Amino acid sequence: MAIILLLSVTIASAQIKNNKTETVKIYGNCDMCKSKIETAGNLKKVAKVEWNKDTKMATLNYDSTKTSQDEILKRIALAGYDSDKFLAPDATYDVLHGCCQYEREAKVAVSTEMKIETTTGNHANHANHSDTAAAKQQVDTKLKVVFDTYFLLKDALVKTDGKAAATAAKDVLTALNAVKMDELAMDVHMIWMKEMNGLMAGAKNISETQDIKRQREIFIPLSKSMYELIKVAKYETPVYLQFCPMANDGKGANWLSKENAVKNPYYGSQMMTCGKTVETIQ
């Protein structure tokens, strides 16, 4: 069994380019935990996780140019399993099967913006805070580009301009691909993991057509996912969630706007002011 396990890890490592190997502790109990931990951590040709239920130690093999230890451990935490760096959300831990509810040693959630204690005086602490602030600004800028390109897409739909909408959607997709998950704060990371596939698929599909009717149909779920993200990540100014009861074949649909005045992306000049603001996000 030991030889088979060693061979499987060796083969998996050989399939990963720029391979980096690390060993970390991940808390769990049983074979079901093993399956969930490894499934959450694995990414085809990017990351491979092997977890030992007896020692609680996991071997991480990953492409260091495409992911990181933090990103792998965050995914595992979102599946319900603590490590020494990231604490799983309580709600996720609470729904684990009874045999998987391990003894939790960590007492508080670990932030991605941890203060690093030093013994070199106030100057070192000041430098650390400056580095943290700079990193946060970089993350905020990348997310701001995502939101800004979404607003440009919305404006193109308001103008009933399918060509401009396709171009704006391509810019949304580019902005989404520029976001690095391992740099996101834990609460934003959780929403990003849940919504990113829908966001990317929506932006891609809108970019591939100039059929305004089809673009508007795809814009409905895209806006829903964007709303979930902006609620947590926030924007530099208030953002308005607006609702048109006529859209989506009379079922109604939402969109986000930087202006409180209604300009309907689902009908444009046909029914420009149809709708209302239902929530202000700030």
Where residue 89 falls among pLDDT bands split at 50, 70, 90?
confident
Tally the residues of the chain. 282
Rounded-to-10 torsion of CA 18, 15, 49, 233: 60
Q: Return the pLDDT at 225.
A: 96
Rounded distance between C-alpha atoms, residue 224 and residue 231, angstroms: 11
* Sequence-separated contacts (24+) of 52-56 with Cβ below 8 Å: 53/28, 53/29, 56/25, 56/26, 56/27, 56/28
Q: Return the pLDDT at 134.
A: 42
**18 or 215, which is more confident:** 215
Least confident of 32-46, 79-93, 160-174: 79-93
pTM for the structure as a whole: 0.58
Q: Is the pLDDT of residue 84 over 90?
A: no
Cβ proximity of 5 and 50 under 8 Å: yes
Q: Is the pLDDT of residue 180 over 80?
A: yes
Q: Return the pLDDT at 135.
A: 40
Where residue 190 falls among pLDDT bands split at 50, 70, 90?
confident
Q: Return the pLDDT at 95.
A: 87
Q: Return the pLDDT at 182.
A: 78
Domains in the chain, CATH or no CATH each: 2-100 (3.30.70.100), 145-281 (no CATH)
pLDDT digits (tens, 9 = 90+) for 132-179: 444 444 446 889 999 999 999 999 999 999 999 999 999 999 999 999
Where residue 129 falls among pLDDT bands split at 50, 70, 90?
very low
- Cα–Cα nearest to 76, from 97, 55, 99, 48: 48
Average pLDDT of the chain, as a whole number: 84
Q: Return the pLDDT at 113.
A: 38
Least confident of 46-60, 120-134, 261-275: 120-134
What is the share, in percent, of the chain residues with pLDDT greater than 90?
Answer: 61
Where residue 215 falls among pLDDT bands split at 50, 70, 90?
very high
Rounded-to-10 torsion of CA 222, 228, 233, 239: 80
pLDDT digits (tens, 9 = 90+) for 49-75: 999 999 999 999 999 898 999 999 999
pLDDT digits (tens, 9 = 90+) for 230-245: 999 989 899 999 999 9
Q: Return the pLDDT at 153.
A: 97
Q: Return the pLDDT at 126.
A: 41
